[in-house]
Structure 1
Amino acid sequence: MSTLQSPVQSPLRRFWSEYCENRIAVIALAVAILMALLALLAPFIVPQDPYDLEHLSFLDARRPPGFVGSGGYTHLLGTDPQGRDLLSAILYGLRISIMIGLTAGAVGLVLGTSVGIFAAYKGGRIEAALMRVIDLQLSFPPILLALILVALLGQGKGQLIAALVAAQYAYFARTAYGAARGERHKEYIEAALATPLSSAQVVLRHLLPNCLPPLIVVATVQIAYAISLEATLSFLGLGLPVTEPSLGMLISNGFPYMMSGRYWISVYPGVALIILIIAINLVGDQIRDQFNPRLRK
Structure 2
Amino acid sequence: MSDTLRDPVPRAPQADEEARRPSSPLARFWAEFRESTVAVVALVVVVILGLLALLAPLIAPQNPYDLATLSLLDARRPPGFVGTGGYTHILGTDPQGRDLLSAIMYGLRVSIQIGLAAGGVALVFGAGLGILAAYLGGRIETLIMRIVDLQLSFPAILLALVLVALLGQGKAQLIGALVAAQYAYFARTAYGAATSERRKDYIEAALATPLSGRRVVLRHLLPNCLPPLIVVATVQIANSISLEATLSFLGLGLPVTEPSLGMLISNGFPYMMSGRYWISVYPGVALIILIVAINLVGDRIRDQFNPRLRR
Q: What's the TM-score bracket when you normalise by the shorter of the two chains?
A: over 0.9
One of 41, 44, 59 as aligned partner of 1:45: 59
Aligned counterpart, 1:236: 250
Aligned counterpart, 1:69: 83
Equivalent-residue separation in structure 2 for 1:77 and 1:250 (angstroms): 13
One of 149, 165, 171 as aligned partner of 1:157: 171
Equivalent-residue separation in structure 1 for 2:253 and 2:87 (angstroms): 31
Aligned counterpart, 1:259: 273
Once the two structures are superposed, the pairs formed by residues 205-244 of structure 1 within 5 Å of their partners are 205-244=219-258
Equivalent-residue separation in structure 2 for 1:222 and 1:91 (angstroms): 22
Instruction: State yes or no: 1:36 paired with 2:50.
Output: yes
Aligned counterpart, 2:115: 101
Q: Tell which deviates more after alignment, 44-53 or 182-191.
A: 44-53
Instruction: State yes or no: 1:18 paired with 2:32.
Output: yes
Identity of matched residues, %:
78
Q: Which letter maps to 1:132?
A: R
One of 19, 27, 48 as aligned partner of 1:6: 19
Deviation at 1:243, TM superposition (A): 1.0
1:81 is paired with a residue whose SS is coil
Equivalent-residue separation in structure 1 for 2:176 and 2:105 (angstroms): 24
Q: Which has the larger radius of gyration?
A: 2
Deviation at 1:117, TM superposition (A): 0.3
1:244 is paired with a residue whose SS is coil
Aligned counterpart, 1:58: 72
Aligned counterpart, 1:276: 290
Q: Which runs of 5+ in 2 are unaligned?
A: 1-7
Q: CA RMSD in A?
A: 1.2
Q: Which letter maps to 1:237?
A: G
1:243 is paired with a residue whose SS is coil
Q: Tell which deviates more after alignment, 168-177 or 244-253.
A: 244-253
Equivalent-residue separation in structure 1 for 2:35 and 2:199 (angstroms): 36
Aligned counterpart, 2:307: 293
Equivalent-residue separation in structure 2 for 1:197 and 1:31 (angstroms): 45
Q: Which letter maps to 2:251?
A: G
Deviation at 1:245, TM superposition (A): 2.1
How far does the alpha carbon of each residue in 1:119-150 deviate from its partner, in whole angstroms, 9 at most, with x for none?
Answer: 00011111001100000001111111111111
Equivalent-residue separation in structure 2 for 1:54 and 1:100 (angstroms): 27
Scaled by the length of structure 1, the TM-score of the pair is 0.98
Q: Which runs of 5+ in 1 are unaligned?
A: none
Equivalent-residue separation in structure 2 for 1:44 and 1:73 (angstroms): 16
Aligned counterpart, 2:134: 120
Aligned counterpart, 2:186: 172
One of 209, 218, 221 as aligned partner of 1:204: 218
Equivalent-residue separation in structure 2 for 1:23 and 1:183 (angstroms): 34
Q: How many residues align?
A: 297
1:145 is paired with a residue whose SS is helix
Scaled by the length of structure 2, the TM-score of the pair is 0.93
